[in-house]
Amino acid sequence: MNDNRLHRESFDLEGIAHSVPIPFGTRVGNMLFSSGIMGVDPSTGRLPHGLEEQVRFAFGNLRALLHKAGGTLGDVGHVRVLVVDEASRAAVNEEWVRAFPDARDRPARHTVVSSLRGGMLVQLEIVAVLK
């Protein structure tokens, strides 16, 4: 039988692990899909208590995943942001503008208030088209 499926490659990040064997991201062809990208500090493997720190680490972990898959922030087409409450949007927006400073060159974004587990205050999911 001829297998015409695109090659799939999964990625994990050093110092960060899901509680079950789920990769942080999967590349299929030139597309990169992430799982939930947490704001864990990869140097300690711990989740900081503060929102601003979690947001900063989440965006840093996003950059690390993109780099590992051969991409950059410029390849991101869509970001889904999960936050625990509406007040969290301000911290996310600050980091968002740092990551994507050009208002004419930003990915689409959907922010959802969600119940996150284990002390998480923010989580990112992305779809990127890699070169």
pTM tops 0.75, yes or no = yes
Write the single-letter amino acid at 29: G
Can you give the CATH number for the domain in which 69 is found?
Answer: 3.30.1330.40
The Cα 47–Cα 31 span in angstroms is: 28
1 in a structural domain: no
Number of domains in the chain: 1
Would you give per-residue pLDDT tens digits along the chain (131 residues)?
556 778 999 999 988 877 778 999 999 999 999 999 999 999 999 999 999 999 999 999 999 999 999 999 999 999 999 999 999 999 999 999 999 999 999 999 999 999 999 999 999 999 999 98
Separation between Cα atoms, residue 5 and residue 50, nearest integer Å: 43
Assigned domain for 79 exists: yes
Instruction: Give me the domain span that covers residue 88.
Output: 8-129
Report the 10 Å Cβ neighbour count for 103: 7
